[in-house]
Amino acid sequence: MRYVSFPSKSAVRLGALLFVALAAPLHAQEAAKGDPAQGTGPLPPNVAPDPTPICTDRPTKATTTCTVPAGAVQIETDLINWTRETQDGVRTDTLLYTNPTVKYGIGKHTDIQINIAPYETVRSRMPDGSVTTDRGIGDLYVRAKQKLTVDKSKTQVSLVGFVKAPTAGSVLGNGAWEGGAIVPVNVPLPFKFTLTTSPELDIAGDQAVSGGHHAELANLINLSHPVGKNATVYAELWTKESFEPRNNSQQYSADVAASYQLTKTLQLDAAAYIGLNRETPGLQLYTGISTRF
């Protein structure tokens, strides 16, 4: 997460102190009010303080350690999200028409988040050439994030807990309540690189046994680097292992992404996830937007 720094006003403050010490009480009172035009004293009522730049959990699979400022609302959403997967000769294309996550800061280092895809389509082409299409709402995810480290710490750590409610249909979702925990870690590196890792433990619904659950472990290594003043590029390796007794599987992907901040509270981004084995979706492409107010 990037912070805004301001020029030091030490000389101005020292001069003000000397003036207060030597001037008459009336003059001292006037000096205490300051001069907003010179950067001393309070800002006029119609002038807002410079905001902290927006910090998001997109565009990669990595979860960042930053939280939404207390009292602020932040929306992070795909504009379009397309995934292609091929399994046993069946080619499946999934299309999300927006996928918003709404966040609200409930404390200085705490926020809550709600995510749901309001409309998605799943189109499957069978080996014999027949096609089926399913449409509807996605599953509902509720998350809470708590930053565990102080702002001055170079390495930042947070804890995220989440639960998934099965609001999607039987084809679009698995019909199971699920949940998990993530521990995002951000580490600054030389030459303005940032390393992010997000070890994750999930309790996921079984595919082979109705009503059953199993553990899944996921992790990633993400490197990001600024490009110019407002852009950032990302490269990521991601892995996930399922411990379902009858359907144990491993997934791997290589991800690339970029983001661009139009303003301090408005960001555009795009990403591509490339599957590295047969059990991982072959390709996922999306672009999105994030804003805070």
**CATH number of the domain that residue 195 is part of:** 2.40.128.130
> Which tens digit of pLDDT belongs to each residue from 36-73?
333 344 545 554 555 789 999 999 999 999 999 999 99
Please tell me whether residues 138 and 29 are part of one structural domain.
Answer: no
In angstroms, what CA-CA distances link 217 with 170, 175, 181, 220?
Answer: 24, 20, 10, 11
- Does residue 61 lie in a domain region? no
Please tell me whether residues 286 and 222 are part of one structural domain.
Answer: yes
pLDDT for residue 63:
97
Opening angle at CA 25, ends 24 and 29, nearest 5? 120
In angstroms, what CA-CA distances link 12 with 17, 23, 38, 42, 50?
Answer: 9, 16, 9, 14, 20
- Does residue 212 lie in a domain region? yes
Domain count, the chain: 2
> Which tens digit of pLDDT belongs to each residue from 228-243?
999 999 999 999 999 9
Please tell me whether residues 201 and 266 are part of one structural domain.
Answer: yes
Please tell me whether residues 43 and 112 are part of one structural domain.
Answer: no
- Does residue 62 lie in a domain region? no
> Which tens digit of pLDDT belongs to each residue from 180-203?
999 999 999 999 999 999 999 999
Please tell me whether residues 27 and 136 are part of one structural domain.
Answer: no
Please tell me whether residues 256 and 128 are part of one structural domain.
Answer: yes
CA distance 104 to 68: 6
- Does residue 86 lie in a domain region? yes
In single-letter form, the type of residue at position 41 comes to G
The DSSP call for residue 247 is S
- Does residue 55 lie in a domain region? no
Q: Which two tokens stand for residue 274?
A: 């490339």
- Does residue 67 lie in a domain region? no
Please tell me whether residues 125 and 269 are part of one structural domain.
Answer: yes
Q: Which domain holds residue 173?
A: 73-292
Please tell me whether residues 31 and 83 are part of one structural domain.
Answer: no
- Does residue 91 lie in a domain region? yes
Q: Which two tokens stand for residue 17?
A: 């102190």
The DSSP call for residue 169 is -
In angstroms, what CA-CA distances link 175 with 166, 245, 289?
Answer: 5, 19, 29
- Does residue 57 lie in a domain region? no
